[in-house]
């Protein structure tokens, strides 16, 4: 009887620990979502943090993004779009 | 790239998704493990799992289409989206559940009707009525009634000679006898009641299966009505009325013919050629989620929308089983009559919608 009661007690303790963990997780995600509703995106985004630490890469990415955007939206009507493209056969070295 | 998520959205996407995500988390549809750092991803993961749990895979076997949560009713190009966001003063406060079909699923039901008639004289009509009524809850159905209407409309402008040469008079004459005699006997409710009555006494396994699936369809969709785009409240979406006025009727989600390439098919092809010519077509299903509500009210609204999605998927999953069985019976019929299968060498106009 005593052993049975102990087992039941242990199971109950385990169950309550698990439910506390789940509740904690739900609260954490709820907070993250709440932050997203206020700021649009999280302040501590790991990817953004990495970019902040390396602004040069961010600048290069931004420039390439702008060039690609202008190419994407020009729909072939923009004569200046050709300027962004290297001459045929050019070998482009990776970013130093 | 480990740990870097694949999608980065602007605050215009993240903010409404985060409000919806909080509601989905409260309702247990999304889980903490779905969180990757993006609210859009969070909602997408929860919604995908939800769809899978309610028979999405089964539905996909027959219907090609989308059930999506969107911030606009129609698809926008990246440029249109950028322009819309630049003009807007704040992120969207309404999201939509949009259901639409890329093509009409072909259901050649003619060869199935004799199997049902052998069980009971009234069974083909009751089955047809029960099946189509339940399909109508989730899609526009193109069948004998639509073809008849089309034929009557186009016959008006023709002289006798032209009418004789056209397919229009044949629409009525091709109606199977079992449907002609008893087709008007049943209304939706009566048809389902009749199916419940005869089901226990049925002997043929084919007929039993078909009736069982229709009863499943009916049970899954009971209490739900078609969420037509016009039913969305103007308070939630003030500009929707204008858009709906310009838009065309939604495209049918299925084409129920007696046999492939019959007169119903011919009428459908004629109509399909002009679908979407004068503007975008309305989606088949549209429900709004107004995010600017207190949490309890928002949760009730989200629950209602997701209940609708669940019922739609579950009902269509059973409908897909009916369609697969009907197609098998039709293939069998073709083999017996030594006809070629209905694969077309050239796509019909209906297949060319997207193009």
pLDDT tens-digit map of B230-287: 888 666 666 677 778 888 889 999 999 999 889 999 999 999 988 888 888 899 999 9
Q: Which residue of A has its CA nearest to B291?
A: A37
Map out the domains of chain B as residue ranges. 54-352
**Domain range enclosing A25:** 1-43
B225 at interface of A, judged by CB pairs closer than 8 A: no
Q: What are the pLDDT digits (tens) for B129-166?
A: 999 999 999 999 999 999 999 999 888 878 888 888 88
Nearest to A33 among B21, B79, B91 (CB): B21
Nearest to A33 among B12, B39, B91 (CB): B39
Q: Tell me: do A39 and A54 sit in the same domain.
A: no
**ipTM strictly over 0.90?**
no
Asked if B39's CB is within 8 angstroms of A47's CB, the reply is: no
Contacts of B80 in chain A (CB under 8 A): none
Q: Cα separation of A42 and A39, whole Å?
A: 7
Chain B nearest-CA distance from A86, in A, is 25
Nearest to B25 among A30, A37, A45 (CB): A30
What's the domain count of chain A? Answer: 2
In a domain, residue A89? The reply is no
- Point out the least confidently predicted range of A44-53, B216-225, B271-280: A44-53
pLDDT of residue B136: 96
In a domain, residue A55? The reply is yes
Nearest 10 degrees: Cα torsion A83, A89, A93, A95: 30
In angstroms, the Cα distances linking B198 to B61, B120, B190, B247 are 29, 8, 12, 43
pLDDT greater at residue B213 or residue B229: B213
Q: Tell me: do A5 and A38 sit in the same domain.
A: yes
- Find the mean pLDDT for residues B83-93: 76
Q: Is the pTM of this model over 0.90?
A: no
Q: Cα separation of A17 and A25, whole Å?
A: 12
In a domain, residue A95? The reply is no
Q: Tell me: do A55 and A29 sit in the same domain.
A: no
Asked if A46's CB is within 8 angstroms of B3's CB, the reply is: yes
Q: Tell me: do A1 and A28 sit in the same domain.
A: yes
Q: Tell me: do A36 and A3 sit in the same domain.
A: yes
pLDDT of residue B87: 74
Q: Tell me: do A4 and A25 sit in the same domain.
A: yes
Q: Which residue of B has its CA nearest to A31?
A: B22
Burial classification of residue B296, based on how many CB atoms lie within 10 Å of its CB (0-12 exposed, 13-18 middle, 19 or more buried): exposed
Whether A96 shows a pLDDT value over 50: the answer reads: no
Contacts of B33 in chain A (CB under 8 A): 25
Contacts of B5 in chain A (CB under 8 A): 47
In a domain, residue A18? The reply is yes
In a domain, residue A91? The reply is no
Chain A nearest-CA distance from B35, in A, is 7
pLDDT of residue B231: 83
Q: Tell me: do A36 and A2 sit in the same domain.
A: yes
pLDDT of residue A77: 58
Residues 6+ apart with CB under 8 A from B121: B178, B182
């Amino acid at each position: 009887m005593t052993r049975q009661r102990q087992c039941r007690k242990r199971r109950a303790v385990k169950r309550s620990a698990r439910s506390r963990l789940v509740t904690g997780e739900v609260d954490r995600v709820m907070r993250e979502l709440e932050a997203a509703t206020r700021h649009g995106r999280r302040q501590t985004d790991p990817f953004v943090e990495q970019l902040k630490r390396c602004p040069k890469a961010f600048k290069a990415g931004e420039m390439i993004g702008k060039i690609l955007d202008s190419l994407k939206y020009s729909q072939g009507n923009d004569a200046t779009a050709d300027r962004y493209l290297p001459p045929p056969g050019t070998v482009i070295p990776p970013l130093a | 790239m480990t740990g870097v998520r694949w999608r980065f959205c602007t605050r215009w996407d993240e903010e409404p998704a985060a409000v919806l995500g909080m509601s989905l988390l409260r309702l247990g549809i999304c889980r903490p493990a779905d969180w990757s750092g993006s609210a859009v991803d969070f909602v997408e993961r929860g919604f995908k799992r939800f769809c899978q749990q309610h028979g999405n895979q089964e539905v996909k076997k027959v219907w090609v289409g989308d059930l999506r949560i969107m911030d606009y009713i129609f698809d926008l190009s990246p440029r249109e989206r950028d322009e819309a966001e630049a003009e807007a003063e704040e992120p969207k406060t309404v999201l939509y559940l949009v259901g639409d079909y890329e093509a009409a699923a072909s259901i050649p039901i003619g060869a199935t009707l004799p199997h049902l008639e052998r069980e009971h004289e009234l069974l083909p009509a009751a089955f047809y009525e029960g099946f189509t009524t339940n399909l109508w809850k989730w899609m526009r159905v193109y069948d004998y009634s639509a073809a008849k209407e089309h034929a009557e409309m186009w016959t008006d402008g023709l002289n006798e000679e032209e009418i004789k040469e056209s397919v229009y008079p044949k629409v009525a004459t091709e109606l199977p006898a079992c449907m002609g005699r008893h087709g008007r006997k049943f209304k939706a409710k009566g048809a389902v009641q009749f199916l419940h009555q005869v089901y226990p006494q049925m002997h043929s396994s084919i007929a039993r299966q078909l009736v069982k699936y229709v009863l499943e369809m009916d049970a899954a969709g009971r209490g739900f009505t078609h969420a037509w785009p016009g039913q969305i409240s103007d308070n939630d979406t003030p500009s929707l009325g204008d858009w709906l006025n310009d838009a065309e009727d939604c495209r049918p989600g299925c084409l129920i013919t007696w046999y492939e390439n019959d007169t119903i098919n011919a009428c459908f092809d004629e109509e399909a050629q002009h679908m979407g010519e004068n503007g975008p077509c309305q989606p088949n299903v549209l429900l709004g989620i107004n995010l600017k509500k207190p949490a309890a009210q928002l949760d009730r609204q989200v629950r209602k929308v997701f209940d609708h999605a669940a019922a739609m998927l579950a009902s269509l999953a059973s409908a897909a089983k009916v369609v697969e069985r009907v197609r098998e019976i039709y293939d069998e019929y073709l083999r017996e009559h030594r006809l070629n299968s209905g694969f077309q060498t050239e796509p019909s106009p209906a297949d060319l919608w997207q193009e």
